[in-house]
């Protein structure tokens, strides 16, 4: 299996300059490759592929027309262009109304480049620093051990900070088998409710971080376009975004870890089903973070050898465990069944229904 491991980099002033330069060169190459494809297409109806472009790299570098220090990293930039074009042609083919022609990227927004094979232009030094061709030996904050076999290395700039992402291949260690089963109802008022009746509250700091984010957004809106002060406000806004994102990711990791450690079978709603009921739609729109959480849960479950099952959420808030329909509006938070007389919190009932559906899908009932 593959996963990403991300670490903070602490470049010196000179190294920061070198990193900026490498990113700038990667961006220039990206835009040049894009331009060439556009021209070829517009002038002669030709569509270039990756190899047409990669074959020119050597000559370009000999002429000094490509300043990206590592050859394979340059190839990777061209592969990125190739990918965006392939995605564009796919969108055209399925007849999307606005397929969106690949666009040039601004230097400011071009914020990562990749060394596609470990050991080629990138390695670890004896002093546990990250050596990057064209940059030097960078200090890394190893906040946790790097495990697995390193495949690729991506250098990233995020809100004024630098990071390295290692894509590593590893073999998962399955956890001891557990019989415990749980259904999870994603919530509007709380983060989630379990079929056990337990609720997982939304993290308390989220609201505060959101307020700071709005403040930062307003500050950007007030500043004059193109001005130096706006630029500064934008960096602050990026930082606020990164902060919210980090808090959310952290919460997702911890929550899914607990679930995977406690339950052998986990049933969740499939929020990707089209034509969801309004209440379900509200959930999926409410917080795009949901899909991120489910994704985290999914890979942790796969790692630990847990069964994660997705169920169609249709009706899970409108029926009772006994099968009787119990229609509720969004604001009705309590479930009261006229048939069997069961009375419980709405989300608790939904979570139990989700578990029931999941178990029947797995043939475990
Ligand atoms: Zn009932």
pLDDT in tens, the chain (365 residues): 888 999 999 999 999 999 999 999 999 999 999 999 989 888 887 888 999 999 999 888 888 888 899 999 999 999 999 999 999 888 888 888 888 889 999 998 899 999 999 999 999 999 999 999 999 999 999 999 999 999 999 999 998 899 999 999 998 878 888 899 999 998 777 889 999 999 998 877 777 888 888 999 999 999 999 889 999 999 999 999 888 888 888 999 999 999 999 999 999 988 766 555 555 555 555 555 778 889 999 989 998 999 999 998 888 888 998 989 999 887 888 999 999 999 999 999 999 999 999 999 998 87
Ligand 1 centre distance from Cα of residue 337 (Å): 5
The predicted structure's pLDDT at residue 148 = 93
Ligand 1 centre distance from Cα of residue 320 (Å): 5
Q: How far apart are CA 78 and CA 57, in angstroms?
A: 9
- Judge contact between 150 and 118, C-beta under 8 A: yes
Nearest to 201 by CA among 210, 211, 189, 212: 189
212 half-sphere exposure, CB direction, 13 A CA radius: 15
Ligand 1 centre distance from Cα of residue 91 (Å): 47
Ligand 1 centre distance from Cα of residue 28 (Å): 64
Q: How far is CA 14 from CA 21, 156, 162, 176, in A?
A: 11, 17, 14, 50
Alpha helical stretches, state H, 278-333: 278-286, 289-304
Ligand 1 centre distance from Cα of residue 321 (Å): 6
Cα Rg, the chain, nearest whole Å: 25
Ligand 1 centre distance from Cα of residue 319 (Å): 8
The predicted structure's pLDDT at residue 352 = 95
Q: How far apart are CA 194 and CA 186, in angstroms?
A: 9
The predicted structure's pLDDT at residue 1 = 85
What are the residues whose beta carbons fall under 8 Å from the beta carbon of 213, sequence distance 6 or more?
237, 240, 241, 244
Ligand 1 centre distance from Cα of residue 281 (Å): 25
What are the pLDDT digits (tens) for 219-232?
999 999 988 999 99
Q: Is 237 exposed, middle or buried (0-12, 13-18, 19+ CB in 10 A)?
A: buried
Enter the tokens of residue 130: 């990250």
**DSSP three-state, residue 18:** helix
What are the pLDDT digits (tens) for 164-180?
999 999 988 788 888 99
Ligand 1 centre distance from Cα of residue 326 (Å): 8
Q: How far apart are CA 97 and CA 350, in angstroms?
A: 38
The 8 Å CB, 24+ separation contacts for 319-328 are 319/353, 320/349, 321/349, 321/352, 321/353, 321/356
Which residue is it, tokens 């959101």? 210
Ligand 1 centre distance from Cα of residue 324 (Å): 5
Q: How far apart are CA 110 and CA 156, in angstroms?
A: 9
What are the pLDDT digits (tens) for 140-152?
999 999 999 999 9
């Amino acid at each position: 299996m593959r996963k990403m491991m991300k670490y903070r980099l602490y470049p010196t002033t000179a190294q920061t300059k070198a990193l900026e330069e490498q990113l700038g060169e990667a961006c220039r190459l990206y835009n040049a490759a894009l331009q060439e494809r556009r021209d070829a297409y517009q002038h002669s109806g030709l569509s270039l592929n990756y190899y047409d472009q990669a074959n020119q790299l050597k000559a370009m570098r000999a002429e000094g027309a490509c300043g990206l220090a590592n050859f394979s990293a340059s190839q990777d930039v061209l592969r990125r262009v190739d990918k965006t074009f392939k995605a564009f042609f796919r969108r055209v083919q399925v007849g999307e109304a606005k397929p969106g022609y690949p666009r040039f990227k601004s230097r400011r927004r071009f914020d990562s480049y990749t060394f596609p094979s470990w050991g080629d232009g990138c390695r670890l030094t004896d002093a546990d620093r990250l050596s990057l061709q064209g940059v030097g030996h960078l200090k890394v904050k190893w906040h946790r051990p790097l495990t697995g076999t390193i495949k690729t290395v991506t250098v990233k700039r995020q809100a004024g900070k630098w990071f390295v992402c290692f894509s590593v291949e590893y073999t998962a260690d399955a956890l001891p088998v557990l019989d415990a089963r749980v259904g999870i109802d994603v919530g509007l008022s709380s983060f989630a409710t379990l079929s056990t009746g337990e609720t997982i509250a939304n993290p308390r700091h989220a609201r505060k971080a959101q307020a700071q984010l709005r403040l930062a957004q307003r500050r950007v809106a007030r500043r004059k376009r193109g001005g130096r002060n706006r630029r500064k406000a934008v960096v602050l806004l990026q930082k606020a975004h990164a902060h919210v994102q980090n808090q959310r990711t952290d919460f997702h990791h911890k929550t899914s870890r607990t679930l995977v450690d406690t339950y052998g079978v986990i049933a969740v709603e499939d929020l990707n089903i089209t034509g969801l009921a309004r209440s379900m739609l509200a959930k999926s729109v409410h917080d795009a973070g949901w899909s991120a959480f489910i994704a985290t849960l999914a890979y942790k479950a796969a790692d630990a050898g847990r069964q994660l099952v997705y169920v169609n959420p249709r009706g899970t808030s409108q029926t009772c465990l006994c099968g009787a329909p119990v229609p509720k509006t969004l604001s009705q938070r309590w479930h009261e069944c006229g048939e069997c007389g069961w009375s419980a919190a709405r989300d608790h009932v939904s979570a139990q229904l989700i578990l029931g559906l999941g178990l029947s899908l797995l043939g475990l009932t």
